[in-house]
Structure 1
């Protein structure tokens, strides 16, 4: 009975991690595809000068998307950054996201030499929003379900928020795993990245587009 129960628990753990790994790959792929679409938008907007025939537009669209799909992730970010109003804030973090995705998809989640740095470590770095308050001189981070306890008679407590980076290291030969809470944090980090990308795309009026001009 004990062995069967342990095997069942192990299967549940493996299955849960498989689901989370698949979900991680999907959100990482979504980041990549969003950058490819941004590259396409910037390329079209930059060279568009008045009306364009459908065949010419479709050919340009296919070529632009091929260029984006062929580009390595750091190169793709660099190309997109060139057309944005400001450089992306989270470029390094989302490069690490793609490296973890590659490990999950090509090596079953076991860190190989292709994934690790010179020290034999694969780093996943993700931005997050940290909420905290002060209890005397001690900073207390707010966690889900926690109760604010200022340690004194205060009825109103000021809540602070700041963007920080959470880092996780996987060593050579180690298997990448996630908990549901970790995946939720990763998914939220992706919304920060996409918000940053959209906010920095150049804006244009219809007249600007006709003249091939973006501001």
Structure 2
């Protein structure tokens, strides 16, 4: 895989022959070897800010690729363990006869382990989301904020102070700031919803409570927007078994998954794949919104260069 990430690089390797479908990539493919935001010192001027919002997609998908690899590993490891294999006695077992907790059945152990692994997985995924929302804000505020101090280094310190204040805000407030400041028309609901999923797993063992539910509803939901691969034999999912070559078409689908109050949160392998694409759609909206806010055509230039006047 190259340094740049197109939608075909993000989980779209279906290994089947496709038809003549035309799809727009989530991100334009290109190769640039600098970071999304940098502050460049000059000996004869104040200095300048160089920002490439599109590179936010590179760092985001590099980390989400690793997240998906880890998730795939744990998913396969857990689901391929048979009860007969688990029940085979070891040469040394840890057994306590005066236990204060009931001895669990295999199905109960499976459920507990799956919940703990899910908590770890979604905690890591939400951490990636938080990091990149804060990076998106840093790019935006660095291009918008007024000149501070006598050099770009003093300006950078000022930006770090603003970013620290942004970091301390609650996640829904961060999303509201990004949405309002960039005047985004697309919803970032999926980002806030997966954050609520993580909170429910961490604080309520994944059992949906009233506080998790949407206002005036008895459920919580998460929205997916993803590319569905259709073939003459039906939808092809990441876990489908394909024999031979098939002609396929790709269509973007909007879908909502609901967890009712009292229900336990659980996602299938295929749903987590949909989630990865849905998160990409949200960040694409942020990236496009940044270029639009500063009136920069990303088709002509990916980099936004901010030069400060000396007055």
| Whole-Å separation in 2 of the counterparts to 1:98 and 1:172 | 17
Q: Structure 1 residues 129, 69: CA separation in 2 closer, same or farther (over 3 Å shift)? A: farther
Aligned to 1:87: 184
Aligned to 1:141: 235
More helix by share: 1
Kindly report which structure 2 residues correspond to 1:31-110, keeping only aligned pairs within 5 A, or say none: 31-49=129-147, 52=151, 54-55=153-154, 57-73=156-172, 75-84=173-182, 87=184, 89-110=186-207
Q: CA deviation at 1:134?
A: 4.7
| Whole-Å separation in 1 of the counterparts to 2:220 and 2:246 | 43
Aligned pair 1:174/2:263, yes or no?
yes
SS of match in other structure, 2:240: coil
Q: 1:14 aligns with which of 90, 93, 112?
A: 112
Aligned pair 1:189/2:273, yes or no?
no
Runs of 4+ off more than 6 Å: none
| Whole-Å separation in 2 of the counterparts to 1:79 and 1:56 | 21
| Whole-Å separation in 1 of the counterparts to 2:271 and 2:228 | 14
TM-score by length of 1: 0.72
Aligned to 1:127: 225
Note the residue ranges of structure 2 that are not aligned, 5 or more in a row.
1-82, 88-103, 297-302
| Whole-Å separation in 2 of the counterparts to 1:210 and 1:49 | 7
| Whole-Å separation in 2 of the counterparts to 1:184 and 1:131 | 12
Aligned to 1:163: 252
Q: Structure 1 residues 71, 119: CA separation in 2 closer, same or farther (over 3 Å shift)? A: closer
SS of match in other structure, 1:110: coil
Q: 1:25 aligns with which of 123, 129, 133?
A: 123
Q: CA deviation at 1:130?
A: 0.7
**Maintained 8 Å contact 2:166/2:174:** no
| Whole-Å separation in 2 of the counterparts to 1:21 and 1:182 | 16
| Whole-Å separation in 2 of the counterparts to 1:124 and 1:205 | 34
Greater displacement, 21-30 / 60-69: 60-69
SS of match in other structure, 2:210: coil
TM-score by length of 2: 0.53
RMSD over aligned Cα, in angstroms?
A: 3.3
Aligned length: 197
Note the residue ranges of structure 1 that are not aligned, 5 or more in a row.
150-154
